[in-house]
Homo-oligomer: A and B are copies of this chain.
Amino acid sequence: MTQLKPTLTTCFSPALLHLYNLSSAIVVVIDVFRATSTIASALYNGAECIIPVDTVEKAIDISTSLGAIAAGERDGQIAPGLQHGNSPLEYSKEFIAGKTLVLTTTNGTRLLQMALDNNASTIITGSFPNLSAVCDFIIKENKNVVLGCAGWKDRFNVEDTLFAGAVISKVKDHFTIHCDSSLVANSMYEQHNDNLYNFAPQLTHYHRLVSRFGLIEDIRFCLTPNTANVLPLYVGGKLLIK
């Protein structure tokens, strides 16, 4: 008798997350440009932990009381009142090792909160820099998985979809997948995986980051697999390496 495989589904927007049963699932929070890439980078470079919060005020209050670094962005720029932003390249070993980062972002933080509100069993974060760590973990856990795309202010975006597709292309033999979102994610990834960086100028978020703020090196980092290959797991309000 064939053993029943766990299911894998892809959710294209935080505003659709309530449609999925998260209570026995691992939710992979995906915000490729740039929150989850920054989270992987900071933890890989030795950050003690990352505390995601929803407002700049909370980021400042918590970082002050903990002696931590407050960081975040709004609409792609360092949030007013903060000294550090949401670029994965800001968090070198020299700067972040041994420190706690309190982070607030436009989309990733919101999705994480929605996953908590919908009683997700386990929450991890995924991005190209930690692609293999995510795939290894979900295969090993053998539980249902929801790939949650943060999108842009609840709208669909392509970069999170491409990462979902990258995961699917690597783990699909281990899961039951009957989900049109996953079909499209996998298809888009397989169409562009040999040259994500050249495809990127077609994405709306690329224009927001590159044309407006010149963040071309961020884009390159965020589309390169396995350069910060750790698994951020959300436990008790903090993201820690599993």
Q: Which residues of A contact B (CB under 8 A)?
A: 12-13, 15-16, 19, 153-158, 161, 178-181, 183-184, 187-188, 191, 202-205, 207
Contacts and interface: CB of A to CB of B under 8 A. Distances in A.
A180 B203 contact: yes
B178 A204 contact: yes
Main SS at interface, chain A: helix
A62 to B, nearest CB: 30
B154 A180 contact: no
20 contacts: A13-B13, A13-B16, A15-B16, A15-B19, A16-B16, A16-B154, A16-B155, A19-B154, A155-B181, A156-B180, A157-B180, A158-B180, A161-B180, A178-B204, A180-B205, A183-B202, A183-B203, A184-B184, A187-B188, A191-B191
A119 B156 CA distance: 22
A78 B174 CA distance: 37
B12 A12 contact: yes
Contacts of A205: 180
Nearest to A13: B16
Contacts of A202: 183
A157 B154 CA distance: 17
A131 to B, nearest CB: 21
Please list the 9 inter-chain residue pairs (A to B) with the smallest Cβ-Cβ separation, ordered nearest first. Answer: A158-B180, A156-B181, A157-B180, A180-B204, A12-B156, A178-B204, A156-B180, A19-B154, A19-B155
Nearest to A156: B181
A165 B189 CA distance: 18
Nearest to A158: B180
A178 B201 CA distance: 11
